[in-house]
Each structure stands twice: as structure tokens, then as C-alpha cells.
Amino acid sequence: MGTGDSSASVLRVRHLIAQHLAIAVVVCLVLAGAGGFVAYAEYSAPDTTTEQRVTASWTTDSSFAHQATVERSTRAFEAGTVLRNRSAYLFRVTPTLTGEYRFRHEGAPGAATVATDVQLVKRSVGGTGDDRTEFWRVTDSLASAETTIAPGESARTSFRVNVSRQRNETRQIERELGGTPGRIELFVLVTTNVTTTVDGERLERSRTERLTIRPATATYAVTSNTTGARDEPISTETVSVPVEKNSARIYGGVAFAVLSLLAAAGLVVADRRDRLSVPPETVAAIRTERTRDRFDEWISVGRVPEPADDDRVVTVDSLTDLVDVAIDSDRRVIEDGDDGRFVVLVDRVRYCYEPRAPTAGSTESVSDGSNGATDSVGEDGPDPARDDDS
């Protein structure tokens, strides 16, 4: 039988099912149960679920605005020109920076009391991360304010910094200390405390932000670091939300369960009607192919000439026995590509195994109870891992 075509594959599958019919039926029943469970779980799931929904929230936001006024006329700028929110300003014409800190709130709370404290910090720091060291710090108060604002309004706090003078003061401090290995930092530090009331409950929030000034040779850069907008829920409620059933899981699970049950029933019926039986020659071919794969390292494919008149021919009952002969005699098994015989040549003796269909009462095969399907005792018997001298 040609074992490489599609019909041969079908016969192999039938033979495998016939040998393991009980397992195949159990697998189908398990799959049917799984499909039914999926369908039932989806069908019996609650129609609604609960979730928390925000009914009121409080939004707070903050920002910096800054500007510098040109103090002397040049060909580039006229005196009195206001430069706003630039990333850098010129020391010579705009030595003083005017800033404004803005805090805004809106949402469910009513009026909020905003207390703002503005300080100018000069310091020398070295290192990075956890090894950061502050060598010295000098703090000056720039402004302090407290006001009450309604939702949607902003609390504004103004301040002024003469950057040129502050640069000179940091240099003077360095000279007084004899110099430090750190770098000089100059920034405006703003601390804001907000208090409001929601449904009789007092809420307090605070934030600390800075406006950094980096002096260079002829310019100074300005960058802000703020918390920005912060939206937080202050009131929630539990609501019921409908849950849509997944019809694909319900109907798909039922269909899968029914198909699996039909497959199990079909296997049982096919077995009782002898539809899974495989011809003896097919069983022999499958058995030989299986054994051939097991002993592939001992087998070579070639052409075996006809025996001479003085050659003796010994017929071996199984391929396993023939491989044993090859191992004991330190020979290889030759598979004849023309007729499919397996031969071991030892001097003038030719040991030969020719695949054939099993016959009733044969010693090399035994019925496995699967409607005529047989399995080899000799072919799938002991492993050939033996000592060549045994």
C-alpha cells in the first residue's frame, strides 16, 4: 500500500481511532461539556452590573506668567517695551523680572480660600539623585497673600526679582565662603494652601511650585515647573449598568456542544457497524512503517541482488528480530527500494524480512479488539538498545 497518499492517511486515522476508541469518545464528551458550560455561563450571567459614577469633581490649576520691561533704549528695543513670557531675557536692558502666579479652581465646591507664599531661593548644590548635597541656601520673602475666590475665578500673586542684583549677591556669598564645589541655583518657590467646603466637609489641598531662573553671561533663562490641572472626584454614586449578552458565546457554545455529542455518537455507531475496521495489509504496512521509523539509525536504503546458488536465505518473522540480527552481527539492515524487503547479509547467509499482512493465529500479531485492527507484538516489542557482544 502506498502510505503517502490521502487515502492512506485516512486509513491511518481510522486505525488510530479504532485502537483508542474509548479515549476519542471521552474527548468528544469533554468538549461537549466545555461548550455547554460556556453557553450556560454566558446565558445565566447577570443582566446588570454596578459601577461607581462621579457625580461631582473639583478641578484646580496653576500657572506662571512673567515679563520684563526694557529699561534703556537701543537700536533693537525702545525703553518701556514690555517683553512677555520669553524663554530668556537680556541682562543689560531687562535686568528685572516681574512675575505673577495664578491659581484657579472650579467644580462642585463653592468659594475657596487660597493662601499663597512666594519666596526667592538662592543656593549652591552638588551631586545628583540621592547624593545631592546642598552647600548653602539663602531665602528671601517676595510676596504673601490670602484671598477667597469663587469657582471659575483666579487668585493672582505678583512678585519682582532683580536678576542682575541676585546674581551679584550669589557671587558675593561665594566669595564670603571661599567658593563651593556646587552649582548656583536661583528660583522662585511658591507654596499654595487651598481650603474649601463640600457638603459640609472641609477639604484642604496644597501644592509647591517653582519658577527657575538660570543666569548666564549676557542672558538669563526662565522656566516654570507647576503641578498643572488636577481633577479629583469628591462625590460618587453607585449605579446599575446593563450588560449585553454575548450571543456568539451562547449559540457558539451550544453548537459546539451538539457537534461534539454527534461526533461521540458517530464514533460509537461507526464502531458497532464495523466502519472503523482497517484491512490487514494496511495494519501490517502501518506497523512496518512505525517500526521502520524506530530503527532508522540501523537501516539503509539500497538494492539487494538476488541470492547466489550457494547462499542460504533465512526468513525472519519481524523487523525487530531482523534489527537484532544486524546488531549482533555488526551489520546494517538494507531496505530494498524495489520490493520493500529488509535484508541483512552475513557472509553467505541472507536474513530477510518481507512485510506481509498478518494471518489468523500468527505469532507476530495479536488482535487488539478494535474491529479487526491489529498491533504487532514483535514490532513494538523490546527496545533494541543492546550490547553488540550479548
- Give the pLDDT of the chain (390 residues) as one tens digit per residue: 444 456 667 777 777 777 778 888 899 899 999 989 998 888 888 888 888 787 778 889 999 999 999 999 999 999 999 999 999 999 999 999 999 999 999 887 889 999 999 999 999 998 877 788 999 999 999 999 999 999 989 999 999 999 999 999 999 999 999 888 889 999 999 999 999 888 778 889 999 999 999 999 999 999 999 988 888 887 777 888 888 888 898 889 899 889 989 988 888 888 787 777 766 666 666 777 777 777 788 788 888 888 777 778 888 888 888 888 888 888 888 888 777 788 988 888 889 888 764 444 443 333 343 343 334 334 444 444 444 433
Separation of alpha carbons 345 and 311, rounded Å: 10
| Torsion from C-alpha of 332, 337, 338, 344, nearest 10 degrees | 10
Q: Which residues have CB under 8 Å from 324's CB, separation 6+?
A: 384, 386
Separation of alpha carbons 322 and 316, rounded Å: 6
Task: Compute the Cα dihedral for 108, 211, 221, 72 and give only its sign.
Answer: positive
Q: Which amino acid, 258? A: V
Separation of alpha carbons 200 and 355, rounded Å: 96
Which helix H or strand E contains 226, and what residues bound it? none
**Which residues are 209's β-sheet partners?**
190
Distance of CA 199 to the CA centre of its chain: 44
Distance of CA 59 to the CA centre of its chain: 35
Integer CA distances (angstroms), 81 to 159, 194, 331, in order: 19, 36, 106
Residue 42 backbone dihedrals phi, psi, to 5 degrees: -70, -40
Integer CA distances (angstroms), 169 to 118, 121, 141, 213, 217, in order: 19, 12, 15, 14, 15
Separation of alpha carbons 259 and 201, rounded Å: 62
Q: Given this model, what pLDDT does residue 102 score?
A: 96
Contact predicate 179/142, CB 8 Å: no
Contact predicate 122/166, CB 8 Å: yes
Q: Which three cell numbers stand for residue 13?
A: 486515522
Residue 295 backbone dihedrals phi, psi, to 5 degrees: -105, 30
Contact predicate 199/152, CB 8 Å: no
Separation of alpha carbons 267 and 30, rounded Å: 15
Residue 363 backbone dihedrals phi, psi, to 5 degrees: -80, -10
Contact predicate 142/161, CB 8 Å: yes
Contact predicate 190/156, CB 8 Å: no
Separation of alpha carbons 109 and 150, rounded Å: 9
- Helix, coil or strand: residue 279: coil
Q: Which three cell numbers stand for residue 122?
A: 538662592
Separation of alpha carbons 121 and 133, rounded Å: 16
Distance of CA 20 to the CA centre of its chain: 39
Contact predicate 169/101, CB 8 Å: no
DSSP alpha helix (H) spans, the chain: 6-19, 21-43, 163-177, 247-272, 280-294, 319-329
Q: Given this model, what pLDDT does residue 354 score?
A: 83
Assessment of whether the complete model's pTM goes beyond 0.75: no
Q: Given this model, what pLDDT does residue 282 score?
A: 67
Q: Could you identify the residue written with the cell 476519542?
A: 24
Separation of alpha carbons 323 and 385, rounded Å: 11
